[in-house]
């Protein structure tokens, strides 16, 4: 298993990070909005967002003094696909996922 998949798995292994990902799915939220929604401290949220950022699971947008976060759905799907290929390599869906990953990562012709 590659290092990126391990980092992804560790990021998802925490309930607080799962709650953050669910909250920021399909919308952009600032840290203070996440703090208010989850009723946790700002340092706690910032710590978890840093780990999610390291795993590539969040997209970041800076607006003035605020940083907004949203779920990086494309990376989530890619990592889940790699997990599927690693742990269920003989399933029909693994073959489909592998073919998709091969096509999406191959160099595009000009």
Q: What is the pLDDT of residues 59-80, one digit of tens each?
A: 999 999 999 999 999 999 888 8
Q: What is the pLDDT of residues 84-102, one digit of tens each?
A: 877 877 777 767 777 777 7
- Quick one: pLDDT at residue 67? 96
- What DSSP line would sit under the chain, residue for residue? --HHHHHHHHHHTSHHHHHHHHHHTTS-EEHHHHHHHHT--HHHHHHHHHHHHHTT-EEEEEETTEEEEEE-HHHHHHHHHHHHHHH-TTSHHHHHHHHHHHHHHSPPP-
pTM (2 d.p.): 0.80
């Amino acid at each position: 298993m590659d290092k990126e998949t391990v980092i992804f798995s560790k990021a998802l292994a925490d309930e607080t990070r799962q709650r953050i990902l669910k909250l920021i799915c399909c919308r952009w939220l600032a840290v203070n909005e996440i703090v208010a929604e989850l009723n946790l401290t700002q340092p706690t949220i910032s710590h978890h967002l840093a780990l999610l950022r390291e795993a590539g699971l969040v997209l970041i947008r800076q607006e003035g003094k605020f940083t907004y976060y949203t779920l990086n759905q494309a990376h989530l799907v890619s990592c889940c696909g790699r997990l599927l290929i690693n742990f269920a390599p003989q399933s029909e869906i693994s073959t489909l996922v592998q073919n998709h990953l091969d096509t999406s990562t191959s160099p595009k012709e000009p």
